[in-house]
Amino acid sequence: MKTPPLHTACILATGLFILGGLSSCNTSDTTLPPDLRTTVYRPAKMKPIDSVQTLKVGDKAPAFTLPAVKGGKVSLADYRGKKNVVLSFVPASFTPVCSKQWPGYNISLDLFKQNDAELIGIATDGIPALHAWITLMGGLDFKVLSDFWPHGKTASDYGILRGDGTSERAIVVIDKKGIIQYIKVFDINKRPALDDLASILNELN
């Protein structure tokens, strides 16, 4: 049985019914969790993409082992032969678009599970900053890893480290053999639509 598109659940979560799927992020304070409305940093519009992509579909995914906000370390190798992996890279904690993107995934986790996929969030912030941010968002039910030190190494290995030391807003889907099946860098100023991701996960499953 085909799972419903991921973007449908995310639209319901945010109350944004946009023809054609979830598109650019609404920056209204009312769509942020209450504790974040006066806390988020609002950067000026940034260069949409500031890296040169070095990986493509069919490449072996670079290995990584990173500390998790909830403790311990997580390696890509932990999922080899067991689960597909979806990596969601975001630029920075305490920013409006990121503060809406990851909470939107929380109610879609069953769709990842149904497609035998593990969702993992990665940012170049340190553990304390990520912990504080996630707490203010009301918690996240998927693993979040810190690519702080060596700074941005994983983002760099995936070809998505920006010139300012943050990562691009990117999604990477890796199959159980460790091969990249989907990789896309999105406009950093907008929340990604998830239509393509839903289709890829259904195909892998």
With a pLDDT cut of 70, the percent of the chain lying above it is: 79
CB count within 10 Å of CB 157 equals 16
Per-residue confidence band for 23, with pLDDT thresholds at 50, 70 and 90 = very low
Confirm whether 10 is a catalytic residue: no
Q: Are 185 and 172 in contact (CB under 8 A)?
A: no
Give me the sign of the Cα torsion angle 50, 56, 59, 64.
Answer: positive
Mean pLDDT of 44-65: 90
Q: Are 199 and 7 in contact (CB under 8 A)?
A: no
Report the pLDDT value the prediction gives residue 27, as an integer from 0 to 100.
39
Report the pLDDT value the prediction gives residue 195, as an integer from 0 to 100.
77
Per-residue confidence band for 9, with pLDDT thresholds at 50, 70 and 90 = very low
Q: Are 155 and 168 in contact (CB under 8 A)?
A: yes
- The string of DSSP codes covering the chain is -PPPPHHHHHHHHHT---TTS--SPP--GGGS-GGGTTT---PPP--S--S-----TTSBPPP-EEEBTTSSEEEGGGGTTT-EEEEEE-S-TT-HHHHHHHHHHHTTHHHHHHTTEEEEEEESS-HHHHHHHHHHTT--SSEEEE-TTTTTHHHHHTT-B-TTSPBPEEEEEE-TTSBEEEEEEE-TTSPPP-HHHHHHHHHH-
Per-residue confidence band for 43, with pLDDT thresholds at 50, 70 and 90 = low
pLDDT at 31 over 80: no
Per-residue confidence band for 203, with pLDDT thresholds at 50, 70 and 90 = confident
Mean pLDDT of the chain: 83
Domains of the chain as residue ranges with CATH: 6-24+51-204 (3.40.30.10)
Q: Higher confidence at residue 201 or residue 153? A: 153
Report the pLDDT value the prediction gives residue 25, as an integer from 0 to 100.
35
- The string of DSSP codes covering 82-114 is T-EEEEEE-S-TT-HHHHHHHHHHHTTHHHHHH
Report the pLDDT value the prediction gives residue 32, as an integer from 0 to 100.
65
Report the pLDDT value the prediction gives residue 110, as an integer from 0 to 100.
86
Least confident of 3-12, 90-99, 163-172: 3-12
Report the pLDDT value the prediction gives residue 21, as an integer from 0 to 100.
29
Question: Which of 10-49 are b and which e, b meaning 16 or more Cβ less than 10 Å from the residue's Cβ?
Answer: bbebbebeeeebbeebbeeeebbeeebeeebeeeeeeeeb
Q: Higher confidence at residue 36 or residue 63? A: 63
Helices 6-14, 195-204: inter-axial angle, 10-degree rounding: 140
Structure pTM?
0.80
Q: Which of 25, 98, 119, 180 is catalytic?
A: 98
Read off the tokens for 109: 């986790």
Mean pLDDT of 39-60: 83
Report the pLDDT value the prediction gives residue 16, as an integer from 0 to 100.
27
Q: Higher confidence at residue 110 or residue 6? A: 110
Per-residue confidence band for 204, with pLDDT thresholds at 50, 70 and 90 = confident
Give me the sign of the Cα torsion angle 167, 170, 175, 181.
Answer: negative
